[in-house]
Amino acid sequence: MQANHTIAKQLIEQHPQALIGLEHLTDIRERTKRRKRRRKQNGKGTERVSPKARKANRVHSQWSFAELHALISYKAVLSGSLALKVDADYTSKACPVCGHTSDENRPRKGLLFACQNPLCGYTLHADLIGARNVTLRTLLVRQDWIRTGCLSLIPDASDREAKAARLQRYAELRWSPDVTTSLQLLAGGH
């Protein structure tokens, strides 16, 4: 509880009057794997999970993502900022430079992102890739908001056609170290 308040406060103090994109983490606990007991090599019985893995599982299951999102959202409003949730699908598996999305972009599901598109080959820490994709998606929501006057909502993820259309639109986004170029690409310019 206190950790979430501290994180939210620091974020808002460092970025007043900002548009803050947060991943929509519905069912995150069900989508992530935790260490479980393994069968022994000889096939009889199971091996215990290490104390370190048990502690990591316990901390992971107690973290309140929804509470952190709520705290960031309400503190953002008080500081003149806006926090909004963006689609989390494939944020750490999609290349922000070329748009190629693949499970193979995360070798051995590790922390290294290596784009498998032979024309790209972009490599970076997977968390930074995810952050860049969340940023691009947040800017896309902002662009839609400016154009239509409405904040777009995330449609029901079970609707396959809507999800496919969203993912196609995200694949067209491009990250560039030059912010002006990135914004022009988002706006449809060249």
pLDDT single digits (tens) 107-130: 888 899 999 999 999 999 999 999
Mapped onto helix, strand or coil, the DSSP state of residue 59 is helix
Residue 113: what are its φ and ψ, rounded to 5°? -105, 125
Mean pLDDT of the chain: 78
CB 97 within 8 Å of CB 122? yes
> Do 112 and 80 share a domain, yes or no?
no
Residue 170's alpha-carbon distances to 117, 130, 132, 183, in angstroms, are 17, 13, 12, 14
Residue 96 — pLDDT band, cuts 50, 70, 90? Answer: very high
Q: Which domain holds residue 67?
A: 1-86
Residue labelled with tokens 């995200």: 170
Final residue before a domain boundary, out of 38, 68, 86: 86
Q: Is 109 left (phi over 0), alpha (psi -120 to 50) or beta?
A: left
What is the predicted pLDDT for the residue at 169?
84
What is the predicted pLDDT for the residue at 97?
92
Query: Of the spans 44-53, 95-104, 148-157, which averages the highest pLDDT?
Result: 95-104
For residues 87 and 187, which has the higher predicted lDDT (pLDDT)?
87
Q: What torsion do the CA atoms of 29, 135, 166, 190 make, to the nearest 10 degrees?
A: -160
What tens digit of pLDDT does each residue of 33-51 get? 555 555 555 556 566 667 7
For residues 121 and 155, which has the higher predicted lDDT (pLDDT)?
121
Final residue before a domain boundary, out of 67, 86, 105: 86
The mean per-residue pLDDT over the stretch 166-177 comes to: 80
For residues 18 and 187, which has the higher predicted lDDT (pLDDT)?
18
> Do 64 and 132 share a domain, yes or no?
no
Mapped onto helix, strand or coil, the DSSP state of residue 86 is strand
